[in-house]
Amino acid sequence: MNAPVKPETAKVPCTIVTGFLGAGKTTLIRNLLATANGRRLALIVNEFGDVGVDGDILKSCGIESCPEDAIVELANGCICCTVADDFVPALETLLARPNAPEHIVIETSGLALPKPLVKAFNWPAIRSRVTVDGVIAVVDGAAVAAGRFADDPEELKRQAEGDASLDHDNPLEEVYEDQLLCADLVVLNKADLLSAGEADGVEKDIEKTVPRAVKVVRTSEGRIDAAVLLGLGAAAENDLEARPSHHDHEAEHDHDDFDTFVVDLPAIRDADALVRKLKAAAEEHDILRIKGFVAVDGKPMRLLVQGVGARFSQHFDRAWAPEETRSSRLVIIGEKGIDQAGIRKTLEG
């Protein structure tokens, strides 16, 4: 008689949350934490620049089943390019925690390509211990409806006329499409900013981009229950061929199409005046994303300021800790060549 087969130790499921800059990934994850029903979660949060805003927002959630020390921030580069140095060690650290997580959620930077990250799950060091439960792509419905990711018709026309020097793709569109093409579930977010007809149009756009059948769920403020988001059972690392990418034929890719920089400001007197200035700068310089914490004179709380394109929101998220320096720090992301000096001048003036 054969000896009974020892059951393989169950792999820890990991959910990758992708989506372009400002689509609503952090908002969705906050909701997910709130509806996880005590399931022990851990988070890996990656940001493109070297200033972590999202990790800080999530740490301030104070959810018991996802304590602060189960949140790892990878803020020194894009997760898809720093797999060996950052991602695999971060995953190993989380798996080694005394109270090992039951599920790991990974928020990628808005500029990250998810496919290299899914591929990383085949690395020998982690392959037997973790699996990609699913890739969730969060879509900024308002940005898609406004044609943010559409090809520039003028440029397409010039390409068609055979000017080889213009033979490149629209970088925004490439990143957006790569994220959709890798998804097991698409969350069409910011439905509050769309009419029903516009939302239908965005959904058609998504279906056109993704050749295989992928479920699209509409929502606002990322309000989707953890029970829907977790447990997709996709094992995406075994299914890479079904997830085409614009970068499939490149040995390496880079993020040279985008610039990220930080603007430091002193404490401000008037938050509304600052937001007016930010809005003006975002419109004038076609800024893709602004986010950061701001110190306001006389206020014990820090102000979280967020801008996606020219749409801004702000709220006081928590009190400044006694050991923190009360200062204002904003991360700004735009396409390559964005006028950093001009933006600084507008904001500092």
Ligand X SMILES: Nc1nc2c(ncn2[C@@H]2O[C@H](COP(=O)(O)OP(=O)(O)OP(=O)(O)O)[C@@H](O)[C@H]2O)c(=O)[nH]1
Question: Interface residues with ligand X (CB under 6 A)?
Answer: 19, 21-27, 54, 110, 189-190, 192-193, 220-222, 289, 291, 306, 308, 313
- Which of 118/188 has CB closer to ligand X? 188
Please say which residue, 27 or 245, places its beta carbon nearer to ligand X.
Answer: 27
Pairing of the two strands 130-140 and 12-18: parallel
Q: How far apart are the first and last CA of the chain?
A: 82
In the complex, least distance from residue 241 CB atom to ligand X, rounded to whole angstroms: 28
- Nearer CB in complex with ligand X: 126/138: 138
CB of residue 8 to ligand X, shortest distance in Å:
35
Q: In angstroms, rounded to a whole number, what is the distance separating the alpha carbons of residues 208 and 199?
A: 14
Q: At residue 342, what is the residue type? A: G
Our CB check for ligand X shows the closer of 126 and 145 to be: 145
Q: Which residues contact 88 (CB under 8 A, 6 or more apart)?
A: 120, 123, 125, 126
Name the helix (H) or strand (E) containing 254: none
Distance from the Cα of residue 53 to its chain's centroid = 12
Tell me the closest approach of the beta carbon of residue 159 to ligand X, in angstroms: 29
Nearer to ligand X, 129 or 279 (CB): 279
CB atoms within 10 A of CB 96: 8
Q: Give all strands of the β-sheet with 301-308 in edge-to-edge order.
A: 258-265, 328-335, 289-295, 301-308, 311-319
| 131 vs 306 by CB, closer to ligand X | 306
Smallest gap from residue 306 Cβ to ligand X (A):
3
Phi, psi of 214 (to 5 degrees): -130, 135
Beta carbon of residue 31, minimum distance to ligand X (angstroms, whole number): 10
Minimum CB distance to ligand X smaller for 53 or for 126: 53
C-beta of 130: minimal distance to ligand X in Å?
23
The residue with its CB nearest to ligand X is 110
Phi-psi region of 18 (alpha: psi -120 to 50; beta: other; left: phi over 0): beta
Sign of the dihedral through C-alpha 52, 54, 55, 60: positive
